[in-house]
Structure 1
Amino acid sequence: MLSGHNLYLVALSLAIAVLGGYTGLGLAGRILGKTDLQRRALLVGATVVLSTGIWTMHFIGMLAAPLPADTAYLVLPTIVSFLICALVVGMSIFFVVGSRPGTLGTALAALLLGVGICSMHYVGIHGLAGPFTIEHDPWKVLLSVVIAIATAYGALRIFLDPQVGLRLAISAVAFGLAVSGMHYTAMWGMHVVPASAGHDMAMMAASLQMSSQLVSLVVACLCFLVTAGFLLFLLPDQWGRADSPPALNSTEGAEIAVPRAMEREASPMQPQPGRIERIPVESGGATQFIPVGDVRSIRADAHYTWVHDGHRERMCGWSISGAEAALDPTIFIRVHRSHIVALPHVTLVRKEGDAAVVELDGANPHQAPVSRARVAEVKARLGLTRSSAV
């Protein structure tokens, strides 16, 4: 399959795909628990890094291939291939992170991602220009599509599974195999057939082109950006917390301050202090009520909150501090300045650096972050000892 390829560039292409996957999926995983603006920024960052990793891997693979020396690259198909990649990756990540789907939803996201990777590849391939034509083996085209979809499903499934240790690293490797496996299988089924001297010369002359040397320079810059993004992602979170309030003593379970922006205006639907039986939510232009026993988590969003009942999130007019005051403190706990969870529905606790993440049960299980100031209290409330691994 790799006969005639430069094996050093092949190895580099795989490494770039894995590094891009690790950084992009890592950014996507941090969307949980952020403000609306932060979530949008992280989604854009994840999309850019993942699509850049895919596109860069593709063109490193092209440079590694034994193509004719006078091969040029048409600019328009090359740019279109990147846009296809960015669009599909962005849609897949938005769907997976936004709804945390089950098996069927993950399969649909993998189908979209795999077909997008293949589309990017074949559009990019037909951006090659020279005195030759390109032919494809239909069965190997089909095999490349199957490889892309199957490995993309594995990457997304591992990424969403909180019980898999080192899941980000493993999902990044699976993502790298999805991209590179598809590419080199497709290259295996591609045949460059010499054509007559006048073949497509008029079209080539009228098209904007890039030489192999210029493509090499662009790819080298993108390799640097992907690697730099990977290294920056590995920096501890504390490097970016200069404007954060001082850490609270995690052994004391101290109260977490709520930003003033969340307390500035009274909500149009304020809860009454004390224990309540139902929480009002907005759905389909009407107000509905969720029994407190069905509530898994409550997430702050500016002056409002989103209530998750194990199936989906719906908007509530209460502020996060108002919800905390109204709910039974023996059942609900403020685990983060923007999250409240119902302890009876916690099925998993996982350490992430100095902080942690809990998973809540339901038809669509979801996660909530635990700030490092609350880790000790959450462990104690769940009956975990200090020696227990989170």
Structure 2
Amino acid sequence: MEFLTVEYNPWLVAMSFVVALVAGAAGLTLTKDLSQKTVTQKKLAVALASVALGGGIWSMHFLAMLGLRLPILFYYDAAITLVSALIAILMVALALVLLHFTRRSNAIIVVAGAIVGFGVLAMHYVGMAGMQLCRPVYTPLGVISSSVLAIALCVLAFGVAYRARSTRNIAIGTLCFGCAVVAVHFLAMAGTNFVALPETNELGPLIRNETMALGVILSSFVIFGGFLWAGTIYLVPAPAEPLVELKPTSLDAPQATRLVNIPCERDGAKVFIPASDVAFVRADGHYSQVYTMTDRYFCVWPITEATTRLLPAGYVKVHRSYLVNPAMVATFERSKDKGRLTFGEGKLPPVPVSRSHLRDAKSAFG
């Protein structure tokens, strides 16, 4: 078996790295501060970021492939090329859904990074399978080393970007993501040889390098610019939450407590409910429900976020799923090792007090 001579255009190699950085910056920026967005905005941001990151993986690969120089003419199968792009986008989408619609933890971040790493690998090797009139021949070392590097670097990129959603961390995560995509591609290519084939075996229409170049240029710059522009239109930052400083009323009152307004959604509109007007907050899956004496609102905070923000403001946790405003409680009824709270003449349902929080409730309500 005679292998073909392989060379690269260094300018296109450098440009492929720039594309990977642009994709990382677009995707990771669009998913910043989603906890302050409505559910609709959150879904839109994840969709945009999935196309930006997944499309960036695809664009980087084929821009680098445009720099590949072989002594023969070769083409790409359009159907397989499209499938490779969809694989990258869908794998990234799965990772972002885990990060933004489940309870985020270190384990979830690692899993999400690994999924993106697998997506980079799958996109690369499926895209390579679309080559016509030549066939890539892989070495076990190249496949194994690129696989390990893909997963490790993508886990690192998402670990940095999601450890703290600051501009600095996102910038470092973008650099890690760009390095991950580029390093995986060229490490895999270093372990790949090519042999000429006498005929094509395509599933769809054939794409010449000139046509591929136009598609890559469009996806590399116009699409990423469009997604960033759309993000500025639809993902308008939420208004800053006004803070009201409360002076301690007794020696037992917490010092420097702050009463924050709670971001809620009702009838598709976002509103802020003063914590002093809320009777209790109830967990609702990965979100929560906010109850005033007359209304109920959907809140994007998970119960863990509500606990972090509202306990310093004087709320009491009486159950793993409930936070209560003591000022609204009318009665506290205890029954053996449990209890319940009621809220006066309103139509609010009673709130259960669990055994593990009974001491706190007794201390707060007598």
Task: Please state which band the TM-score falls in when normalised by the shorter chain.
Answer: 0.5 to 0.7
Whether the 8 Å CA contact 1:23–1:229 is kept in 2: the answer is: no
Cα distance in 1 for residues equivalent to 2:211 and 2:72: 14
Amino acid at match of 2:49: A
- Inter-CA distance 185–152: structure 2 relative to 1 (3 Å threshold): same
Q: CA deviation at 1:101?
A: 2.9
User: How far 1:162 sits from its partner (Å)?
Assistant: 1.8
Runs of 5+ in structure 1 lacking a partner?
265-271, 284-296, 315-323, 333-339, 343-390
Structure 2 match to 1:184: 186
Contact map agreement 2:30 2:228 (CA 8 A) in 1: no
Query: Structure 1 residue 61 and structure 2 residue 64: aligned?
Result: yes
Q: CA offset at residue 80 of structure 1?
A: 0.5
1:220 aligns with 2:217: yes
- CA displacement at 1:299 relative to structure 2: 7.6
Q: 1:117-266 alignment to 2 at 5 Å?
A: 117-130=120-133, 132-162=134-164, 166-195=168-197, 197=198, 200-201=199-200, 203-204=201-202, 207-229=204-226, 232=229, 261=266
Q: Which residue of 1 aligns with 2:50?
A: 47
After superposition, the CA RMSD in angstroms is 4.3
Q: Does 1:304 align with 2:325?
A: no
> 2:17 & 2:311 partners in 1: Cα distance?
52
Partner of 2:314: 331
1:160 Cα shift?
Answer: 1.3
Q: Deviations over 1:112-171 (max 9, x none)?
A: 1111110011000010101x3220011111111111111101111111122877111100
The CA distance in 1 between the partners of 2:303 and 2:314, in whole Å, is 15
CA distance in 2, matches of 1:55, 1:136: 20
What SS does the corresponding residue of 1:70 show, helix, strand or coil? coil
| 1:296-350 CA-partner distances (Å, limit 9, x unpaired) | x96879932366343x999xxxxxxxxx9xx788436xxxxxxx9x9xxxxxxxx
Deviation at 1:78, TM superposition (A): 0.2
Deviation at 1:191, TM superposition (A): 0.4
Residues 274 and 48 of structure 1: CA distance in aligned 2, closer, same or farther (over 3 Å):
closer
| Aligned residue identity for 2:63 | I
Change (3 A) 1:163 1:257: closer
Q: In structure 2, give the amino acid aligned to 1:89.
A: V
Are the aligned partners of 1:100 and 1:160 in contact in 2 as well (CA < 8 Å)? no
Gaps of 5+ in 2: 1-5, 246-257, 270-274, 316-322, 326-366
- Provide, for residues 185-220 of structure 1, a one-character-per-residue CA deviation record: whole Å limited to 9, x for no partner: 11111100134x3xx44x34x741110100001111
Please identify, of 174-183 and 101-110, the stretch whose mean Cα deviation from structure 2 is larger: 101-110
| Higher Rg of the two aligned structures | 2
> Residues 109, 210 of structure 1: CA spacing in aligned structure 2 closer, same or farther, 3 A cutoff?
same
- Rounded Cα–Cα distance in structure 2 between residues aligned with 1:234 and 1:281: 30
Shift of 1:28: 1.3
Question: Paired residue for 1:376?
Answer: none
Counterpart of 1:70 (choices 69, 73, 91) is 73
The residue type equivalent to 2:140 in the other structure is P
Structure 2 CA distance, aligned partners of 1:82 and 1:157? 24
Which of 33, 38, 42 does residue 36 from structure 2 map onto?
33
Q: Kindly state the Cα deviation for residue 98 of structure 1 after the two structures are TM-superposed.
A: 2.4
Judge conservation of contact 1:13–1:57 (CA < 8 Å) in 2.
Answer: yes
The change in CA–CA distance for 1:273 and 1:71 in structure 2 (over 3 A counts) is: closer
Instruction: Report the counterpart of residue 95 of structure 1 in structure 2.
Output: 98
CA distance in 1, matches of 2:234, 2:32: 18
1:229 shift after superposition: 4.3
Normalised to the residue count of structure 2, the TM-score between the two structures is 0.67
Same amino acid, percent of matched pairs:
26
Aligned pairs, number: 292
